[in-house]
Structure 1
Amino acid sequence: MSYSSRHLPPQRHRPPAGPTAAASTKKSFQWRKLRPLLRLVSPIALLVAWQIASTSGLISEQKLAPPSKVWSAARELWADHSLQDALGVSLQRVGIGLALGVSVALILGLLVGFFTVAEFAIDPPLQMLRTVPFLGLIPLFVVWFGIGEEPKVLMVALGVLFPLYLNLVSGIKGVDPKLIEAGRSLGLGRFGQAVAVVLPGSLPSALTGFRLSLGVAWLSLIVAEQINADAGIGYLVMNARTYFRNDIIVLGLVIYALLGLITDSLVRGLEAYLLRWRVAR
């Protein structure tokens, strides 16, 4: 036996990396598949606790209708098509307002993010407007646009504008300078760096802003539909308040919450698809 072989440490048996890596990948895939179902556990548990508290008398039905009565109210409104009509009107309002607000936020965010002149010209007025409570603009919107659909849609658009704008600008400004320098060393011009480096690097922040904008959109819609509305979920809630229908009021709030949860889940799915290059968690 040679000197080198006598002084080498004993070799330990190591399992092949292939099966272990495959099992880890399979486990990760199964976990990602179960995550949407696991997210439903806490809302269902909350509903069960709510029903138990109402049945046992811990929560007065006159103060807060139990889930069973809310479900009965939903069936009642669905039977006479009131719920479908109101839901369609509300979705139309938030859809138009969201499209308008997102379009303006993207245009302004890209201008401010890429051009210094635009930053000095556009950003200060927007920051001033952002500090004004946009819900306090309702009387002014009524004076300017009346009590039709325009103020309701514009309230949603204004609420959507700022979260997306701020996160998009922050994402563009926060791109690693080393990545920009690497793109420059590869011969990319200013436009090529913007398309290949800066915009992909700012995408996570932009999507976060979009998720925040969706949440504000539903909040804005709740308030906007109190402006002399004659249709929509907000109209159902206001009408139910007149007749002391606590169950319909709670139903309207639950619908708003469910719509917010559904749209947030859709954006999370879009985020997972567009950012699939990141390490899955």
Structure 2
Amino acid sequence: MTELLTKTRTAAPVGRTAAPARTEEPAPAPRAARRRLGPGRAVPFGRLIGPVLVIALWWFASAIGYLDPRILSGPGTVLSTASDLVSSGRLQDNVLISLQRAGLGLFFGVTAGVVLAVAAGLSRTGEYLLDGPLQIKRAIPSLAMLPLLILWLGIGEQMKVTVIALGVAVNMYINTYASLTGIDSRYVELAEGLDLSRAQFIRKVVVPGSLPGFFVGLRLGVTASWLGLIVVEQINATSGIGYMMFQAQQYAQSDVIIVGLVAYGIFGFASDAAVRAVERKVLSWRRTLAG
């Protein structure tokens, strides 16, 4: 009886078509959050986190007595020594001389590297004449040429600046030349189709296309200038940060040596940051992972 009543209630009325059963559409699946593949948002002064952690670890190891002060002085001792060197004027005098050497070597090296890259990158004749010898020079470290340069130029400032300039010039040439020769040939064809002059072609195509490589070379060149400076100032030098460190080595003054290393590190970090800032300003039209 119950089954009959149920069938009667569910049956369609006579003379009417049964309405199709309503099917519920499945709910849309929740949209998955888009995965970020980039390095993330930049943090202001984030590059200082690493050096600060290193200094904190150094300070902690020194405080608990893990480091022997005769081998590696603690940060407190280094700060006290730096204060004494500044008050006596010894640190400033040596820093100014080192900055002068590094600056001159960087200037001559950048100028020579860019000129050679342009000559080799925009001319087949220049490429055939210059690229081979410069690639050979790249395989020969500048420091390996030090005995020959001392024989030619002596042990004065000219030799020191030349060693620094050679290291900078090779880095500038390699990166600028690679950037020049890597310019898309379609831009060259477009410039020819627009009948641009040589000067217009260089200004509108060559310069924008080579700037990324130029700045990479400049950053490497800045680093090369400090590396070369460290070496030449410890070879028959009478002034400079390297000379101050060499003198401290003879008297086992690790605190003075660390002051020199910190000075080199600060100048290297600051100069690289300055180049980065200029690069971001000049190449602001690019969208890169660096931000």
Q: Which category of TM-score, normalised to the shorter sequence, fits these structures? A: 0.7 to 0.9
Q: Distance in 2 between matches of 1:197 and 1:132?
A: 33
Q: Note the alpha carbon deviations across 1:87-137, whole angstroms, 9 max, x for none.
A: 000000011111111111111110000000011111111111221121122
- Contact 1:214/1:263 (CA < 8 Å) preserved in 2? yes
Q: Distance in 1 between matches of 2:76 and 2:193?
A: 65
- The alignment status of 1:51 with 2:93, answered yes or no, reads no
Q: Distance in 2 between matches of 1:122 and 1:244?
A: 47
User: 2:69 maps to what in 1?
Assistant: 61
Which one of the candidate residues 193, 199, 202 is aligned to 1:191? 199
Identity %: 39
Q: Distance in 2 between matches of 1:266 and 1:126?
A: 28
Q: Which structure has the bigger radius of gyration?
A: 2
User: 1:133 maps to what in 2?
Assistant: 141
Aligned residue type for 2:253: R
Q: Note the alpha carbon deviations across 1:189-217, whole angstroms, 9 max, x for none.
A: 34322220122111001100100010011
Q: Distance in 1 between matches of 2:63 and 2:70?
A: 12
Alignment of 1:23-42 (within 5 A): 34-35=43-44, 37-42=45-50
Aligned residue type for 1:140: L
Alignment of 1:239-278 (within 5 A): 239-278=247-286
Q: Distance in 2 between matches of 1:153 and 1:72?
A: 32
Q: Distance in 2 between matches of 1:193 and 1:141?
A: 39
Q: Distance in 2 between matches of 1:78 and 1:190?
A: 53
- Contact 1:112/1:123 (CA < 8 Å) preserved in 2? yes
- The alignment status of 1:159 with 2:167, answered yes or no, reads yes
Q: Secondary structure at the match of 2:183?
A: coil
User: 1:10 maps to what in 2?
Assistant: none
Unaligned 5+ runs, structure 1:
1-30
Q: Note the alpha carbon deviations across 1:49-86, whole angstroms, 9 max, x for none.
A: 11101121222222211211111111010010000000
Superposed CA RMSD in Å reads 1.3
Which one of the candidate residues 106, 112, 115 is aligned to 2:123? 115
Which one of the candidate residues 73, 76, 94 is aligned to 1:86? 94
Report the CA distance between 1:139 and its aligned residue: 1.6
Q: Note the alpha carbon deviations across 1:32-65, whole angstroms, 9 max, x for none.
A: 6x43x22112211110111101121222222211
Q: Distance in 2 between matches of 1:190 and 1:147?
A: 44
TM-score when scaled to structure 1? 0.85
TM-score when scaled to structure 2? 0.82
Q: Distance in 1 between matches of 2:156 and 2:218?
A: 27
Q: Distance in 2 between matches of 1:213 and 1:185?
A: 37
- Whichever structure has more helix as a proportion of its residues is 1
- Contact 1:152/1:227 (CA < 8 Å) preserved in 2? no
Aligned residue type for 2:238: D
Q: Secondary structure at the match of 1:277?
A: coil
Q: Distance in 1 between matches of 2:85 and 2:162?
A: 28
- Contact 1:180/1:198 (CA < 8 Å) preserved in 2? no
Which one of the candidate residues 146, 156, 164 is aligned to 1:148? 156
- The alignment status of 1:77 with 2:97, answered yes or no, reads no
Number of residue pairs matched?
249
Aligned residue type for 1:245: Q
